[in-house]
Amino acid sequence: MIRFDKVVKRFGDVTVLRELDFHVRPGERVTLIGPSGSGKTTILRLLMTLERVTSGTIEVDGQYLSHMRRGDRLVPADERHLRQVRKKVGMVFQQFNLFPNMNVLRNITEAPVRALGVPRDQAEAKARELLEMVELADKADEHPSRLSGGQQQRVAIARALAMEPEVLLLDEVTSALDPELVSGVQCLLRDIAQQGNLTLLCVTHEMRFARDISDRVLMFDQGQIVEEGDPEQIFTEPTHQRTRDFLQAVLGA
């Protein structure tokens, strides 16, 4: 579903991703862990086409992000192709990123109506279903500023799901929340991960959440994957010294 092939990403003189190769299978739930500043968010931003690769290729569901096929040639992607691929990918951000001037319902319906051309009444019916699911059915008419951080993040999750993405990217989704709100959002995401056929790529510093939500964990450091495995193996018997050091630092073990 997702394939990175020799992806290099530089910002000026700084190389953040070094010939990075990895793949995520359809329906798989994968978590990226690793030190701060190692490039995890950059991977998600590349998938959202918020950044472009310096070299290498990224595929989502068999389509390149930066190129498209014309006959048997690859040519640079045009806007239409990018819109097509972007539809497959949804993201929930650390800072919620809700539209402050729109009520909750409108926050959820805006993208399906504008980007997918879904009729407004249909988009609203779907949004109300999603609000039920995230237990905010009574907040449809509120503006985001009147909601707690946890409630805002639930709206952001509903908004991402309203686009019916095939891939959902989660970037540190609970790190801006007050501690007492974290577990509610994590439980919701765990349910979503376990129910659907969604492919999940998650970045988190919360190792327990990583363990609960993933089929596979990738330990990422200095622009490359240094170790990967199922959560049980990575968290109990990491083989790479960098993984051991990292886990010791974050878990204080």
Ligand X SMILES: Nc1ncnc2c1ncn2[C@@H]1O[C@H](COP(=O)(O)OP(=O)(O)OP(=O)(O)O)[C@@H](O)[C@H]1O
Residue numbers at the binding site for ligand X (CB under 6 A):
11, 16, 36-42
Residues in the chain: 253
Q: How many other C-beta atoms are found inside a 10 Å radius of the C-beta of residue 133? A: 17
- The least distance separating ligand X from the CB of residue 30, rounded to whole angstroms, comes to 15
37 versus 196: smaller Cβ distance to ligand X: 37
131 versus 167: smaller Cβ distance to ligand X: 167
107 versus 153: smaller Cβ distance to ligand X: 153
- The least distance separating ligand X from the CB of residue 38, rounded to whole angstroms, comes to 4
Q: Determine what percent of the chain falls in helix, strand and coil, rounding each to the nearest 5.
A: 40, 25, 30
- The least distance separating ligand X from the CB of residue 37, rounded to whole angstroms, comes to 4
- The least distance separating ligand X from the CB of residue 171, rounded to whole angstroms, comes to 8
109 versus 243: smaller Cβ distance to ligand X: 243
CA dihedral of residues 8, 9, 10, 11 (deg, nearest 10): 180
Residues 6+ apart with CB under 8 A from 234: 33, 217, 219, 227, 228, 243
Q: Residue 215 phi/psi, 5° resolution?
A: -85, -30
On whether the CB atoms of residues 226 and 21 are closer than 8 A, the answer is no
203 versus 234: smaller Cβ distance to ligand X: 203
- The least distance separating ligand X from the CB of residue 135, rounded to whole angstroms, comes to 28
Residue with tokens 């299978």: 25
